Structure formats: structure tokens, C-alpha cells
Amino acid sequence: MTIRRVITCTFILGLAAALRAQTPAAPSPVITKTLMTEPLGDNQEPKVTVLLLPIRGGLVAPAHTHPGPVFAYILEGDIENQVEPDPPKLYHPGDFFYEPSMHVHRLLRNLSQTEPARILVFQVGHTGNPNPAIKRLLDEPAEVANREGHMITVVMAPGSVIRAHKHPGPVFAYIAKGEVENQVDPEPPKVYGAGDLFYEPPMQVHRLLRNPSKTEPAELIIFEVGEKGQPLAMTVEDTPH
């Protein structure tokens, strides 16, 4: 399994044009980092399910497979994880891993015997009926040809704003830290706090994304579906008519 990671802070080509700089000399108020980009396969009825997976202290999950690919981000705790054919590896908060379709997820273990761990999961395809302890946050379609999934973090400085833009594919955004004021047309603006999630349908105008705090940064974990080789975002002015 190969995960293409961008470790240095790089701007997504389309989204970079939509950022509002404070002054020419100032560092960008919004830092975007692509964690991984992987294909989504040929599922004829693609759907993305967002799950919050709690792992109690000492828990070892049984080996299993998923019919569609899985993108996972460690929110809390330390785990040992193995997806065949790779060897076991330790993961900590801020780390992430990918499961290709039907690869055996051989091991998932909470290293702590007492402290819980939490994993944010973006799962593509049919998910069945998850364990009642697993919190299903959202189910939405992902109708994009030649699809790729992109896991991205966005860190917004206090008071920073991202200008109006659109995404060709659906966007799933989880607020990991702080608060954001968000508006996707035709809905009114709404404030989201840590643990909240919002969804952007393809080509709907993302009118506003703002960190309302004057002192605290906000951090978002984003899963975006896009067409391979195409920009992930465009300014409203660049939208073809």
C-alpha cells in the first residue's frame, strides 16, 4: 500500500486562489495540508459515510475487511494498526491511515489500558449496520467520475476568512478545534464548534468560511472527493457558465 503524503504545508491549487491574505508581507492566515490522496475504486453507487469510532482502553478489534476504501484520522489516543500487506505500525493523534478495498484490517488496538482513543473515519461504499457504539455522523453520495479521495487539514488563524468558492466534488468537513462560521448556498450562515460536521454538495457556492475568534485558531479535517488530475476548488469568478 502506498500513501502519497504531503508533509510540508502546501496550498491546494484551486483553494489557494480563494484565500484572503491579510497583508502582502504577512504569513497566510489559512494553512492547508494534504495528508493523502487515494483512488476510490469503481463502486457503482458511491456514498461516503463519516463515522466517529471510539476505542475503549485495551480494546483489540477483530480482523475484518471493508468493501470500499477507508480514510482514517486519529483524533485522540495511541493505537497499533495493521492493514495487510503492511506490517503493524503505531499511530498517534494527528496521524492517519488508508485501507484499500477488501484488504484485511488485521489489527486495531488501543495501546492504553485505561484511556480511550477516537478515530474519525471516512468510508466509501456500503457500510452495513455499524456497532451501536460507533457514531454515524453523515451519509452523502459521491458522484464524481474517475474519483479520488483527499484527506486535508485546514488551520485558520483567528479572524481569518476564506472567500467564496466552489468544489466540483462533495466535501465533508469535521471541526477538530475551535469554531467556524460557515455558509454553503442556499443555507444561511451557521456557527460550528469542535465535534460538528458540515457537508458541501458539488458546485454549491461556499459563500463563507470564517474563524470568528479573535484569539484562538480553528482546525478542520476535510475529506473531499474529486476527479483525478483536476483542481479541487475554484473561485466563483472562475466557475464556467
The CATH number of 13-40+146-238 is 2.60.120.10
pLDDT of residue 32: 77
Phi, psi torsion values for 16, nearest 5 degrees: -60, -35
pLDDT of residue 43: 56
47-141 shares the fold of 13-40+146-238: yes
pLDDT of residue 56: 92
pLDDT of residue 69: 87
**What is the model's pTM?**
0.80
pLDDT of residue 131: 59
pLDDT of residue 29: 85
C-alpha cell at 65: 475487511
Separation of alpha carbons 232 and 50, rounded Å: 20
pLDDT of residue 13: 35
Parse the chain into domains and list their residue ranges.
Answer: 13-40+146-238, 47-141
179, β-bridge pairs: 193
Separation of alpha carbons 125 and 105, rounded Å: 16
Separation of alpha carbons 233 and 15, rounded Å: 5
CATH C-level class of 47-141: mainly beta
Distance of alpha carbon 49 from the chain centroid: 11
Output Rg (C-alpha) for the chain, integer angstroms.
18
Residuewise pLDDT in 10s, the chain (241 residues): 433 333 223 333 344 434 443 444 455 688 877 877 777 766 555 788 899 999 999 999 989 998 888 999 999 999 999 999 999 999 999 999 999 889 999 999 999 999 999 999 998 876 665 555 666 676 666 665 677 889 999 999 999 999 899 998 889 999 999 999 999 999 999 999 999 999 999 999 999 999 999 999 999 999 998 888 888 888 886 545 4
